[in-house]
Amino acid sequence: MAFDYDKLTSTFRKLALEAGDLIMEVYDGPDFEVMVKSDNSPVTVADEKADAHISAGLRAAFPDIPLVTEEQSDSHDISAKTFLIVDPLDGTKEFVNRRGDFTVNIALVEDGVPTRGVVYAPAKNRLFYTDVSGASVEESGDFAKEAAGPIAAIKVTDPDNSALMVVASKSHRDQATDDYIAKYAVKDMTSAGSSLKFCLIACGEADLYPRLGRTMEWDTAAADAVLRGAGGQMVRFEDHAPFTYGKEGFANPFFIAYAPGVELKEA
């Protein structure tokens, strides 16, 4: 399937920014109801509004590409290895607690590999995406819907294995993760929510992110695309095998995201 990557890039960016506006209207407003989905994860009206907006926009722009979204996942039964995948509000716990570390994630997966993606953190005013060529950038400025502002190419660090910067989850940290991190020579650690952890590696603010916990493909695809476009890598935790998408049920195994040059330790 041939893709118009220029159209993909501009559409992903615009829909993410528009969804961010919808999310921030709820975030900055009065208290909102937090509902619980069948998997016991939280969901809010902000998730639902953002999902509806992004889904409608993607279906209108790319009607021939299968679409997977978190909020409609129960109805998905696709066998395609090439598809669009969306998490309209990644980091709902951060959103509910008004901590700001939540993102809008939109990605294209081609033959099991995320090749294009956008990650927008509206409360943090950070916008990361892959450009037409697939290289990753961070945009600054006012984030006007119709035209991009100043753009800077981003790239992973050349890590120092005697002094690594590690990023870990704010909401899902556990002893197994700490035990694995302890195998490395760590200079410093930082915490971040949602898919921002990948973006910190992509822009050189961290070297390593191990995740020993449940995630779904929509949680990681867009940020994985940004990481890959910045020269980073993501592998399975158990055997360091390549990480792929389009798995049954869209469930991810444990993984490690990192800057090449990090000497990965065994599980």
**Is 134 within any annotated ligand binding site?**
no
Nearest alpha-carbon partner for 259 in 146, 138, 167: 167
Q: Is 87 annotated as a binding residue?
A: yes
Residue 92 is labelled as binding a ligand: yes
> How far, in Å, CA of 182 to CA of 201, rounded?
19
Tell which residue, 203, 208, 202, 137, has the closest CA to residue 168. 208
φ, ψ of residue 181 to 5 degrees: the values are -60, -30
Is residue 15 marked as binding? no
Q: Is 51 annotated as a binding residue?
A: no
Is residue 31 part of an annotated ligand binding site? no
SS3 64: coil
> Is 127 flagged in the annotation as binding?
no
d(CA 258, CA 235): 9
Strands 208-211 and 255-258: antiparallel
Would you list which residues are annotated within the binding site for Mg(2+)? 70, 87, 89-90, 219
Q: Which residues make up each annotated binding site? A: 70, 87, 89-92, 219
Residues that constitute the known binding site for substrate: 70, 89-92, 219
